Structure 1
Amino acid sequence: MSKIVLVTGASSGIGKAIATFLSAKGYIVYGTSRNPKNEKEFSFELIALDVLKLDTINTAVNYILEKEGRLDVLVNNAGMGITGPVEETPTDEMRAVFNTNLFGAIDVMKAALPQMRKQNAGTIINVTSIAGYMGLPFRGLYSATKAALEIVTEAARIEVKNFGIEIVNVAPGDFATNIAAGRYHTPVFENSAYKEDYQTNLDLMDAHVGGGMNPLEMAKIVYKITNTKRPKIHYKVGGFMEKFSIVLKRILPDKVYEKLLMKHYKL
């Protein structure tokens, strides 16, 4: 029996790659977008869902359940980026990115869990980020949202273990996607104390994304997880140095690791 899959944020980038790959593997995939259009471009059904609007979340999940009668896999991929010095980033924009990356993902999980509990089976895959394992300069708020989702996942997976449900994190590094286009950028203010350092790091971020990995690699990991009876809690998908940086943070003294980060980001 084909698995029924919901992938949020599937109109482009990593989400589209995951949904397309799983569809090609014979899964029945429903991807989501805030404003679905050009549906003929997709090999899966694209439906409306905005993680900031509970009614759209519930409508999307109920639509799938009415058509299929079950939901086997949720891939919580929808999210947004944010850059800027902590001091200069508007607090309302900070709240907005937490609402999308953390609370939005939680609300989609809340909508999916009752059916998975009823089935006594299901897999939820939360797409986090390698950036969530460390406080990156000028990306501190993005790092914080993904770190928070990692911890919520750790707690929730214990809570649902007795219901036959698995919840896991998949943390990508830099991937060649259009995430930079949808990112909130705090402006580089002319009179800012951070002007030169922030601009240098914006250029670095764009270069890293432009030279990032193929999103297909994320799709392959997600497919593997959906076919693993007892998946790991954490998966990291990225270049060697990206994954090794997590190991270094764990074994090096804090200030030594901080110096390495500062050198890498030319600070």
Structure 2
Amino acid sequence: MKPTEKVAIVTGASQGIGAGIVRQLLAKGYRVVACSRKIATTGQPNLVEVAGDISQPEIASLVIQTAKERFGRVDTLINNAGAFLPKSFTEYTESEFTTLLQVNLGGFFHVSQRAIAEMLRRESGHVVNITSSLLAEQPLKGLPAALTAITKGGVNAVTRSLAIEYADKGIRVNAVAPGAIRTPMHASDTHTFLATLHPMGRIGEVQEIVDAVLYLEDAAFVTGEILHVDGGANAGRW
């Protein structure tokens, strides 16, 4: 299959990392289905936008169906949709618990299950999960976010589990675990503090996460990998 024939689904695609991934995939000749709660229609021939909450099963089904109807297949799924809520553990509410599970785990589960079912029919496919390095694997005293750690850590674990489950069926499953990245999620007045959380002394850029996703997309012998793009934070304390 030529790269120009591949069809990718990107969730959380309206801004930041998701929007960057969409742009780069289109530039490489992919046909893309982009999903987000709020997304502007651009009219590009190789891009279809689906507005909706990917944590809802019916939206996940719509995204997969859209890819099949418009482009005939699903080759790659980029699970980028997610929520981050820093707070002391005892201060989380039941509503916040439910929301984080729905977005970070439900948003992964529903669309991944449906996408992998399509990939199995072709015996080929790739799933990339955008998780977290600082919160899921390198907890920070000054940045409590236990519910984010529960959900993103769960996605890290299931990345390896699915990689093993489907390795002999032509489907790869990988993850990118970013540090703090310069996106609309982080207000500009927090960037100086966030830079101190990385040994390299700066925050990351969207393109650096996009580059990691594209590497995994092309790395045919890599599966079950959690690729840390975090300025060295995952290496240990400093």
TM category (shorter chain) comes to: 0.7 to 0.9
Query: CA 1:205 to 1:133, structure 2 compared with 1: closer, same or farther past 3 Å?
Result: farther
CA contact (8 A) 1:171 1:234 kept: yes
Measure the CA separation in 1 of the matches of 2:116 and 2:213: 19
For 2:191 and 2:205, how far apart are their aligned partners in 1? 16
> Counterpart of 1:169?
175
Classify the secondary structure of the residue corresponding to 1:7.
strand
- Deviation by residue 1:6-32 (Cα, 9 ceiling, x = unmatched): 110010011111111111111112211
Residues 43-90 of structure 1 deviation map (CA, whole Å, 9 limit, x = unaligned): 843222412211111011111111211111000000011111111121
Distance 1:49 1:16 in 2: 16
Asked whether 1:56 is paired with 2:59, we answer yes
Deviations 1:188-225 (A, max 9, x none): xxxxxxxxxxxxxxx86784179621101111111111
What residue identity is the alignment partner of 2:97? M
* Residue correspondences, number: 225
Match of 1:27 among 25, 30, 33: 30
Q: CA RMSD in A?
A: 2.4
Q: Which residue of 1 aligns with 2:149?
A: 143
Q: Matches of residues 1-267 of structure 1 in structure 2 within 5 Å? A: 1=2, 2=4, 3-39=6-42, 44-130=47-133, 131-137=135-141, 138-180=144-186, 207-208=193-194, 212-232=203-223, 233-240=225-232, 242-245=233-236, 248=237
Contact 1:78 1:101 in 2 (8 A): yes
- What amino acid is the match of 2:28? K
Quick check: 2:79–2:127 contact (8 Å CA) kept in 1? yes
Between the aligned partners of 2:69 and 2:12, the Cα distance in structure 1 is: 21
Tell me which amino acid in the other structure corresponds to 2:83.
Answer: M
| Structure whose residues are more often helix by fraction | 1
Structure 2 unaligned blocks of 5 or more? 197-201
Moved more, 75-84 or 85-94: 85-94
1:42: Cα distance to partner? 11
Q: Deviations over 1:215-244 (max 9, x none)?
A: 01111111111111111421011213x132
| 1:104-152 deviation line (CA, Å, top 9, x unaligned) | 2011101101110001000000110102113334212112211111111
8 A contact 2:64–2:115 mirrored in 1? yes
Would you say the 8 A contact 1:120–1:163 is kept in 2? yes
TM-score by length of 1: 0.77
**Which letter does structure 1 place at the counterpart of 2:136?**
G
State, as a whole percentage, how many aligned pairs show the same letter.
Answer: 28
Looking at structure 2, the residues matched to 143 and 42 of structure 1 have their Cα atoms a distance apart, in angstroms, of 38
SS at match of 1:17: helix
Distance 1:215 1:63, change over 3 A: same
Q: Report SS of the residue matched to 2:89.
A: coil
**What is the alpha-carbon distance in structure 1 between the residues aligned to residue 181 and residue 44 of structure 2?**
21
